[in-house]
């Protein structure tokens, strides 16, 4: 066995999570190693990135990866979901369709350029603690073995979950198998109506859903998502009439293949100096088209935690809480979104497949008491008291706001660039967890200004002069939260 080096951070896996974390941490000056099991990936999924992902690529200095033969700009989605009719959604700005083999290669190359040591064709086998770090044993596909020592390990090994599977990962919520084929059309795929060829298409059917993504003008990946294993790709595809029509004049480019796409989470995401990053910690339903963005966000949170703890070991507890909270909130939010899709499909198709998924998601959301616990603006915007306060603000622009007794200002930990910092947040009797932002609006600042203004437009303008400007809708949402959650009382005008 050869001993091969000492690192600040070792990332297991070179998917979007591992390669993004390695890129960021190497750029921030750390000694980083990335170990990836595959040497080259000839085959891989085509996946959709929502328009909101573009901002992340810019922020991480990775925007050039959205160009090249592995990426196509996409203008929207075409769906047949829980209804007979077709719905065409057009994005305001571009989303992207990426072909993962080329995309992952480019992202790993970027991590290497940024200064990380990258070792492909090498699988991590075991981890054990030593007095001065974590020892990671590896084996290359040529049979060589060795070990690295690192101060932090990021498990970015996706579904394989090298660390996650050792008692941290929970059982899947429900089983989903993806059956995937790539199709080449001699002319153009017959997208309905005036839908663009760059669209993702998605269709619910009785016992599953079908989904297609272009990787070039003439080639699309077409997948069917089912619960069982006792079916074949073509038999299943025939059950999704719109996608069966889509491929009618096309030919398969190779053998279809299958991939596990079951949803899971973990009971913990941080274990001393090991973090579960991206899909290693949780897998959200691919319906969301959010997995890559989630993995990159998770990588950024992990990089911030590593940087904070390596600078100041005493911040370790807060940093771990921050990471846990971020990972859990993303998972819960994705279930809230899936619930709507599953309920719509269950209402239309009325099948055990959809009812089972709805029930599984409801159970977890009950377990997490998501609405109560979650401090994200999306959850709060559904709160009936907040909805009522918003309605009256929209009906009458006059304000007479008074601070209420019992409002507390407490620190919360949030990321600022590369580090975690403490900032003021507001809590009240009915907002147990302190909140700093709702829809990008700083609650403590708005709270302090609110009683000095007597018209909504005046308060809105003053807030936007004093802080990063926000849209009126978001501003009103945040003000409604302050009123509904007992931070401010609005005197009823006589």
Q: Which residues bind ligand FAD (CB under 6 A)?
A: 12-18, 35-38, 45, 47-49, 123-124, 156-160, 162, 178, 223, 259, 261, 278-279, 286, 289-293, 295
Strand partners, 412: 423
Q: Quote the CA–CA distance of 487 and 387 in Å, as a whole number.
A: 16
Of 141 and 433, which CB lies nearer to ligand FAD in the complex structure? 141
Contact criterion met (CB below 8 Å) for 324 and 43: no
Least distance (Å) from ligand FAD to the CB of residue 306?
16
CB of 158 to ligand FAD, least distance (A): 2
Q: Of 64, 65, 6, 14, nearest to 30 (Cα)? A: 6
CA distance 22 to 34: 7
Question: Cα 192 from chain centroid?
Answer: 29
What does each C-alpha distance from 292 to 103, 253, 288, 386 come to in angstroms?
A: 11, 25, 10, 32
Nearer to ligand FAD, 287 or 407 (CB): 287
SS3 content of the chain, % helix, strand, coil (to 5): 35, 30, 30
For the CB of residue 29, give the shortest distance to ligand FAD in the complex, in Å. 23
Of the pair 291, 434, the CB lying nearest ligand FAD is at 291
Closer residue to ligand FAD, CB minimum distance, 49 or 484: 49
Which residue matches tokens 């994705």? 334
The DSSP element (H or E) to which 245 belongs, if any, is: helix 241-246
Question: Least distance to ligand FAD from the beta carbon of 476, Å?
Answer: 31
Nearer to ligand FAD, 105 or 485 (CB): 105
| Cα 190 to Cα 356: distance, rounded to the nearest angstrom | 33
Nearer to ligand FAD, 27 or 294 (CB): 294
Shortest CB 421 distance to ligand FAD, Å = 27
CB-wise, 25 or 162, nearer to ligand FAD? 162
Contact 141, 35 (CB under 8 A): no
Q: How far is the CB of 121 from ligand FAD (least distance, A)?
A: 10
- Smallest gap from residue 267 Cβ to ligand FAD (A): 18
Longest dimension (CA), the chain: 83
Q: What is the Cα–Cα distance from 277 to 299, expressed in whole angstroms?
A: 6
Q: What does the radius of gyration of the chain's CA atoms come to, in whole angstroms?
A: 24
Bridge pairing between strands 71-80 and 200-205: parallel
Closer CB to ligand FAD, 250 or 297, in the complex: 297
Tell me the closest approach of the beta carbon of residue 399 to ligand FAD, in angstroms: 42
Q: Which residue has the tokens 């190779």?
A: 254
């Amino acid at each position: 066995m050869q001993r091969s080096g000492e690192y600040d951070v070792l990332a297991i896996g070179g998917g979007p999570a591992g390669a993004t974390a390695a890129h960021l941490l190497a750029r921030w000056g750390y000694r980083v190693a990335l170990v990836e099991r595959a040497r080259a990936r000839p085959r891989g999924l085509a996946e959709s990135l929502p328009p909101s992902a573009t901002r992340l690529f810019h922020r991480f200095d990775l925007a050039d990866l959205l160009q090249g033969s592995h990426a196509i700009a996409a203008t929207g989605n075409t769906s047949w979901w829980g209804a007979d009719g077709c719905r065409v959604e057009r994005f305001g700005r571009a989303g992207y369709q990426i072909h993962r083999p080329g995309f992952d290669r480019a992202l790993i190359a970027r991590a290497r350029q940024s200064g990380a040591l990258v070792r492909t064709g090498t699988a991590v086998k075991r981890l054990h603690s030593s007095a001065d770090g974590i020892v990671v044993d590896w084996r290359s596909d040529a049979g060589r073995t060795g070990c690295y020592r690192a101060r932090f390990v990021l498990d970015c090994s996706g579904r394989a979950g090298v660390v996650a599977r050792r008692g941290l990962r929970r059982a899947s919520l429900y089983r989903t198998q993806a059956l995937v084929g790539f199709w080449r059309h001699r002319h153009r795929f017959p997208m309905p109506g005036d839908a663009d060829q760059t669209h993702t298409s998605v269709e619910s059917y009785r016992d599953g859903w079908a989904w297609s993504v272009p990787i070039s003008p003439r080639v699309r990946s077409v997948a069917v998502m089912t619960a069982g294993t006792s079916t074949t790709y073509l038999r299943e595809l025939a059950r999704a009439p719109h996608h069966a029509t889509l491929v009618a004049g096309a030919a398969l480019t190779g053998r279809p293949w299958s991939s596990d796409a079951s949803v899971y989470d973990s009971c913990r995401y941080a274990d001393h100096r090991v973090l579960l990053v991206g899909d290693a910690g949780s897998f959200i339903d691919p319906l969301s088209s959010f997995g890559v963005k989630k993995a990159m966000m998770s990588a950024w949170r992990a990089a911030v935690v590593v940087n904070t703890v390596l600078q100041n070991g005493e911040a370790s507890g807060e940093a771990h809480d921050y990471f846990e909270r971020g990972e859990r909130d993303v998972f819960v939010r994705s279930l809230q979104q899936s619930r709507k899709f599953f309920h719509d499909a269950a209402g239309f198709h009325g099948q055990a497949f959809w009812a089972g998924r709805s029930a599984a998601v409801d159970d977890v959301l009950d377990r997490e008491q998501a609405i109560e616990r979650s401090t994200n603006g999306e959850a709060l915007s559904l709160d009936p008291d907040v909805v009522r306060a918003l309605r009256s603000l929209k009906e009458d622009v006059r304000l007479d706001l008074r601070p209420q007794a019992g409002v507390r200002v407490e620190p919360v930990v949030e990321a600022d660039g590369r580090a975690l910092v403490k900032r003021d947040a507001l809590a009240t009797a009915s907002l147990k967890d302190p909140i700093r932002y709702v829809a990008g609006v700083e609650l403590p600042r708005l709270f302090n200004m609110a009683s000095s203004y007597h018209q909504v437009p005046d308060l809105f303008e003053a807030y936007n002069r004093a802080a990063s400007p926000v849209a009126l809708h978001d501003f009103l949402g945040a003000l409604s939260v302050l009123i509904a959650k007992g931070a401010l009382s609005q005197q009823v005008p006589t």
